[in-house]
Amino acid sequence: MVHDSLRERFPSLSMSTVYATIESFLERGLIRQVSGRSGRLRVDGTPDDHDHAVCRNCGRVFDIDPGAIERPAKPLELPDGLRVTSLHIEYEVICRKCGGN
């Protein structure tokens, strides 16, 4: 999608440049990866604390305002001495279009 939208202005832009750029944005925390189930790389341009719901049928990703629902408390530490810096929740859902309510 990123590649398609830039190709007109930058005809020589390669797919690998797009991936490399996205990777470096991910490393710097400018964007954040959304896992989903499709196997495609999905990224989110707003890395601040909000959650996602991913439709298990169509793969559409919804932003969920964490203030809107109660979230589990963030542990300070995980096994193996891993210090927790943030918590992101991904809900698996069926969206309205796909028959949920």
Helices (H) and strands (E) in the chain, counts: 2, 7
**Are 87 and 71 spatial neighbours (Cβ–Cβ below 8 Å)?**
yes
- Residue 76 · residue 91 · CB < 8 Å: no
End-to-end CA distance of the chain: 29
Pick from 36, 52, 55, 61 the residue near Zn ion by CB under 5 A.
55
What is the size of the binding site for Zn ion (CB under 5 A)?
A: 5
Applying CB under 5 A, the span of 32-40, 41-49, 79-87, 92-100 interacting with Zn ion comes to: 92-100
- Under the binding rule (CB under 5 A), the answer on residue 61 touching Zn ion is no
Q: Under the criterion CB under 5 A, does residue 30 sit at the interface with Zn ion?
A: no
Residues that bind Zn ion (CB under 5 A): 55, 57-58, 95, 98
